[in-house]
Structure 1
Amino acid sequence: MAAAAGVEEEVTAARNLLAVLLHDLAGPEGHPRPQNRSVSRDEAEGELSEAVLRLVGGRDGPAWLTACLVRATVQQTLQGDLDSFVERKQDVVEGAENDVQTEDLLHFDALFKRCLNCLQDISSQWQMQLPSVPTNKRNLQVSIHAIRNTRRKMEDRHVSLLEFNQLFGLTDGVERSYFAVFDGHGGIDAANYAATHVHVMVACHEALTSDPARALKEAFQRTDSMFLKRARRERLRSGTTGVCALLEGDQLHVAWLGDSQALLVRQGNPVTLMEPHKPEREDERERIETLGGCITFMGCWRVNGTLAVSRAIGDIDQKPYVSGEGDVSSHTFNGTEDFLVLACDGFYDSVSSAEVPGLVLGHLQENGGDGQHAAERLVAAAKEGGSSDNITVLVIFLREPAKVLEDFLAHGSGEGEPLFDFGGGGVEVPSDHAG
């Protein structure tokens, strides 16, 4: 009975979302103008998905329906011949041989108008016949907090896609969720671009179902290559670090570029998943110097006296010294994992990995096992620790927060001893696969 009632509530909420959406699309403000005026064919799916998600996702409706709407709308928009949307052709340089190729640039305003028409048509059809309510949704609580802090601009972006399968039409029965933090520098363009396209590159990768770690790693390279083309035609100079996590069944795949980081907490212990790309890393220094670059100390170690990270998407003026090739590690869950934290260097430069479990678990204890604002606790700790940078933190609870707290309370502590004492250490667990 409870399950049936839950499905009925989902159906009612879905129909309400469609009704509100159709009403708004029919009004004078229903057709917002997109920010991008021209896109390549490779960029079209990501840019349209982001635009529709912004339009639909801000409304109070089931997230699964939003994801399905985005998928169906974008798919229908891109069906057929897009030649009529070609605005101009752009010469681009490919490869080490400086091979010049021609790339079509599409008039995005016109393409987006078609997209809105498709959205209206699909919403009308689904009012009559809704898609099936998914029954195998991943049940994860996610806490997110991001602040500009004392910086003049906010150059961080983050992505949280619990409905990854619905967004990309994956029906193989394997649960997937995707999370990412991108920390931009020299402007927001590269971080915006990565937040729009990396997950699309993952989903479209031919190896997603057979080798998801490879798909995640190569998604960085593909996104970097695409952004460099845009950077050349629009004279963009920004870059971004990034860390992404793909949860797939009982597997965790983490890919990263630069110094944004992921941390897993298992039974109260921090588990090292990755090593940030810093110029002072011996392998990074050797790679850069072999290419003819240099590492200099100017307050911190920097590539060619400029960037404090050695890998990033973008940074066209520093290629190939600042590499767009990410690293990846894969891990198998055993059921004892508590939560995963993704954050930019504005957090990790002020809060050590060893402090994270106590901060989150202390927050749960103070709030009766409610983890909704756990990310705010971590951001506050970074500010108190002296961080003046943009700070973005995602906490993904891999078990119910109340259960995580209950397990720790069950272990207890000696009288007069702190409840959480992690000794300043951490556990470094070799990954199942790294590259």
Structure 2
Amino acid sequence: MLFSSSRGGPPWLAASLVHAAVHKTLQDDLDSFVERKQDVVEGPENDALTEELLPSDALLQRCLTCLQDISSQWQIQLPPAPNTKRNLYVSSHAIRNTRRKMEDRHVSLLEFNQLFGLTDGVERSYFAVFDGHGGLDAANYAATHVHVMLARHEALISDPARALKEAFQRTDAIFLKKARRERLRSGTTGVCALLEGDRLHVAWLGDSQALLVQQGNPVTLMEPHKPEREDERERIESLGGCVTFMGCWRVNGTLAVSRAIGDIDQKPYVSGEGDVSSVSLTDSEDFLVLACDGFYDAVSTSEVPSLVLGYLQENGGDGQHVAESLVAAAKEGGSSDNITVLVIFLRDPAKILEDYLAHGSGEGEPLFDFGGGGVEVASDHAG
């Protein structure tokens, strides 16, 4: 997709090419690629575990061959371009900051339907931020697989909120197998957003967060999973774990989050089961901000609207680099952690600024005061 974009190709075409190449690859007989590997699972019985694996190098070469064949065919006849009603404007930025390693990962898939061959006429886009700890493996795995689990989920069309929530669980389950096989100890929090027609679904594990801003006002979509939450503490203690204060509240004296993908040594106390909330969009929403705790620990949710609108005012409604300004604000606010920010404008940034200037922002007044009600958020919290 990056190669296509560098040559001026539209993103939808690159996504369609990827889907066609993968589909063609999977239609082939892959038995010749299979490797069977036996390993010993750590545990009281040291059980032998045999898994069938596909070597990535050989499979990638086969996929590239299919991609070349399809590209040659499409030079003669391109598929039709998709019809889109919602124009999204995305700004993203991530820095290692003062940490030794960059363990954050983020994903932005505006062409979700084209990438997975969905043709039901419902527009979909997917965005995610994953904040790894104890290594890169879990964050890399989640950034690569959660959206695939979502696209393959049997309930994607009928119940997308459940599909998004369970995509976390399925990714966690498969990563734990990889972690046992390869002796991995890393974990990752995550927050994912699926824009599906006029609905927004947000799922999360841990303390990465999503914030919706409507008419200049923040709308709370979620409550982070932290050990000090009463329901999280009760869940952990009922399983035989403990929550202790060591600079901050931690699960079994180690992790400062109570839910995550991976963290094999802390299962089941650190749960891989996410929560999800859903919102009906009314075209009055301004933007969505996904970010890791490196951002939200230094910038409060109430500060985000004014920071974004202030940036738009300084830059004439151009929001291209607004994520960089938010990252800078978090760093100036004292964050020493990795910082990743995704800003998804649900309306043209220039139009947002125009509305802001038209309605004013007097001292002590909300940025917007249209007299309307807020959006309705439906939540499905895991036990």
Q: Provide TM-score, normalisation by structure 1.
A: 0.82
Q: Which amino acid aligns with 2:342?
A: L
Q: Secondary structure at the match of 2:54?
A: strand
Q: Secondary structure at the match of 2:303?
A: helix
| Alignment pair present for 1:343 and 2:291 | yes
Matching residue of 1:405: 353
Question: Within 2, Cα distance between the matches of 1:107 and 1:428?
Answer: 50
Q: Which amino acid aligns with 2:17?
A: L
Shift of 1:135: 2.6
Q: Secondary structure at the match of 2:283?
A: coil
Distance 1:386 1:124, change over 3 A: same
Matches within 5 A, 1:179-258: 179-258=127-206
Shift of 1:392: 0.3
Shift of 1:412: 1.9
Distance 1:393 1:115, change over 3 A: same
Q: Which amino acid aligns with 1:411?
A: H
Percent identity between the two aligned chains: 82
Q: Secondary structure at the match of 2:302?
A: helix
Q: Which amino acid aligns with 1:120?
A: Q
Residues 130 and 292 of structure 2 are in contact (CA less than 8 Å); yes or no, is this contact kept in structure 1?
yes
Match for residue 61 of structure 2 among 103, 110, 113: 113
Question: Within 1, Cα distance between the matches of 2:348 and 2:223?
Answer: 28
Shift of 1:103: 2.6
More helix by share: 1
Which deviates the most, 132-141 or 333-342?
132-141
Shift of 1:106: 1.2
Q: Secondary structure at the match of 1:179?
A: strand
Q: Secondary structure at the match of 1:339?
A: strand
The alignment covers a number of residue pairs equal to 375
Distance 1:58 1:144, change over 3 A: same
Larger relative contact order (CA 8 Å, sep ≥ 6): 2
RMSD (Å), alpha carbons: 2.2
Question: Within 1, Cα distance between the matches of 2:3 and 2:36?
Answer: 27
Question: Within 1, Cα distance between the matches of 2:217 and 2:184?
Answer: 42
| Alignment pair present for 1:284 and 2:229 | no
Question: Within 1, Cα distance between the matches of 2:266 and 2:4?
Answer: 38
Which whole-Å deviations, capped at 9, do the CAs of 1:133-182 have from their partners, x for residues lacking one?
Answer: 22326411001011111111110000000000000000000010000000
Matching residue of 1:295: 243
Distance 1:413 1:54, change over 3 A: closer
Question: Within 2, Cα distance between the matches of 1:429 and 1:125?
Answer: 47
Matching residue of 2:310: 362
Q: Secondary structure at the match of 2:9?
A: coil
Which deviates the most, 247-256 or 71-80?
71-80
Residues 243 and 253 of structure 2 are in contact (CA less than 8 Å); yes or no, is this contact kept in structure 1?
yes
Which whole-Å deviations, capped at 9, do the CAs of 1:294-335 have from their partners, x for residues lacking one?
Answer: 111110000011100000000011111100000000010112
Matching residue of 1:261: 209
| Alignment pair present for 1:275 and 2:223 | yes
Uncovered stretches (5+) of structure 2, i.e. residues with no partner: none
Q: Which amino acid aligns with 2:237?
A: E
Residues 312 and 353 of structure 2 are in contact (CA less than 8 Å); yes or no, is this contact kept in structure 1?
yes
Matching residue of 2:125: 177
| Alignment pair present for 1:432 and 2:374 | no
Q: Which amino acid aligns with 2:126?
A: Y
Matching residue of 1:47: none
Residues 211 and 218 of structure 2 are in contact (CA less than 8 Å); yes or no, is this contact kept in structure 1?
yes
Match for residue 318 of structure 1 among 266, 279, 284: 266
Q: Which amino acid aligns with 1:324?
A: G
Q: Secondary structure at the match of 1:354?
A: coil
Residues 92 and 103 of structure 1 are in contact (CA less than 8 Å); yes or no, is this contact kept in structure 2?
no
Which deviates the most, 339-348 or 56-65?
56-65
Question: Within 2, Cα distance between the matches of 1:370 and 1:148?
Answer: 26
Question: Within 2, Cα distance between the matches of 1:236 and 1:57?
Answer: 35
Matching residue of 2:31: 83
| Alignment pair present for 1:68 and 2:16 | yes
Residues 217 and 367 of structure 2 are in contact (CA less than 8 Å); yes or no, is this contact kept in structure 1?
no
Question: Within 2, Cα distance between the matches of 1:133 and 1:54?
Answer: 19
| Alignment pair present for 1:141 and 2:107 | no
Which deviates the most, 82-91 or 257-266?
82-91
Q: Secondary structure at the match of 1:139?
A: coil
Question: Within 2, Cα distance between the matches of 1:257 and 1:90?
Answer: 32
Residues 220 and 326 of structure 1 are in contact (CA less than 8 Å); yes or no, is this contact kept in structure 2?
yes
Distance 1:58 1:89, change over 3 A: farther
Question: Within 2, Cα distance between the matches of 1:203 and 1:365?
Answer: 38
Question: Within 2, Cα distance between the matches of 1:98 and 1:125?
Answer: 52
Q: Which amino acid aligns with 1:322?
A: V
Question: Within 1, Cα distance between the matches of 2:79 and 2:40?
Answer: 42
Shift of 1:107: 1.7
Q: Which amino acid aligns with 1:299?
A: G
Shift of 1:367: 0.6
Q: Secondary structure at the match of 1:432?
A: strand
Q: Provide TM-score, normalisation by structure 2.
A: 0.93
Uncovered stretches (5+) of structure 1, i.e. residues with no partner: 1-52
Q: Secondary structure at the match of 2:15?
A: helix
Residues 236 and 242 of structure 2 are in contact (CA less than 8 Å); yes or no, is this contact kept in structure 1?
yes
Which whole-Å deviations, capped at 9, do the CAs of 1:179-211 have from their partners, x for residues lacking one?
Answer: 000000011111010000000000000000000
Q: Which amino acid aligns with 1:295?
A: V
| Alignment pair present for 1:385 and 2:333 | yes
Question: Within 2, Cα distance between the matches of 1:154 and 1:56?
Answer: 27
Question: Within 2, Cα distance between the matches of 1:114 and 1:217?
Answer: 32
